[in-house]
Amino acid sequence: MSGITVQRVLGGDDRQAVIDIIEQVFQNEKNWISSAHSQIPQELAADQPFSWFLARVNGRPAGVLRLLYDPPLNLPEEYQVTFMPGIDTDYLKGLGRYVEIGRFMIPGEYRRNHRIALRLMRAATEEVVERDYTHFITDVFENEKHSPLNFHTRVLGFEVIGRHLFGDLNCSSTRIILTLDILKLYSRIKDSRHRIYAELTEGMHGLVERKRRKLMAEGGGRS
């Protein structure tokens, strides 16, 4: 399948397309929310602490991803968070600057096309690295039918750091907390010829290398 495009959502038809996808996937298919319209703000200025991205296939809306910059790492007590041994919020804060991936969804008719998810991740990563953030953090459901847990951990290299039982979505599955060191990922896959990694890194080598050298110069280099 060709004709995949991804762009940041700044309002208008793109915002409505995001609402339509959220309604289709999270509201009607999954029954995780009661209203799709409340998920994305009316105002989507570039200086806000979040970014929404919309993927289209031959002009048709085909995927959504939301970024939240500097998310709170101390989740509410009622979420019942438990971290892996040796990990706590102070430890996480010491590793770098975080961006949360959320509301990452692809409608059923496009779900088998992994290039859509990779293009969304590439656009998100490019913006995050450009803004000097170093880590992604996200939740995925443990036993949900379409959970991306295996893809995130086995393909992209996300690491499991904890879990929590409750959250802002109406789902009974346990939430698995994952983090990803972005520059560490790119160091691992930059020379790979695997089509998945080529899709993820296309056009980004120069940007990532500049940011890596900057971190090295500041004394925060990573292997």
Which CATH number belongs to the domain containing residue 188 in this structure? 3.40.630
Judged by average pLDDT, the poorest of 21-35, 117-131, 147-161 is 147-161
For residue 219, the model assigns a pLDDT of 65
Has residue 102 been placed in a domain? yes
Q: How many C-beta atoms lie closer than 10 Å to residue 38's C-beta?
A: 10
CB within 8 Å of 45: residues ≥ 6 apart: 10
Has residue 22 been placed in a domain? no
132 token code pair: 């000097």
Checking if the pLDDT of 220 tops 60, the result is no
Has residue 13 been placed in a domain? no
Judged by average pLDDT, the poorest of 14-23, 138-147, 213-222 is 213-222
Domain carrying residue 129: 64-217
Checking if the pLDDT of 208 tops 80, the result is no
Has residue 32 been placed in a domain? no
Q: Please, what is the end-to-end C-alpha distance for the chain in angstroms?
A: 36
For residue 45, the model assigns a pLDDT of 76
Checking if the pLDDT of 136 tops 90, the result is yes
Q: How many domains does the chain have?
A: 1
Amino acid found at 82: T
The pLDDT tens digits of the residues spanning 28-49 come to 999 999 999 999 998 887 778 9
Has residue 195 been placed in a domain? yes
Distance CA 16, CA 18 (A): 5
Distance CA 153, CA 181 (A): 12
Q: What is the pTM of this model?
A: 0.87
CB within 8 Å of 64: residues ≥ 6 apart: 18, 21, 22, 52, 53, 54, 55, 103, 104, 105, 106, 120
Checking if the pLDDT of 198 tops 60, the result is yes
Has residue 3 been placed in a domain? no
Has residue 33 been placed in a domain? no
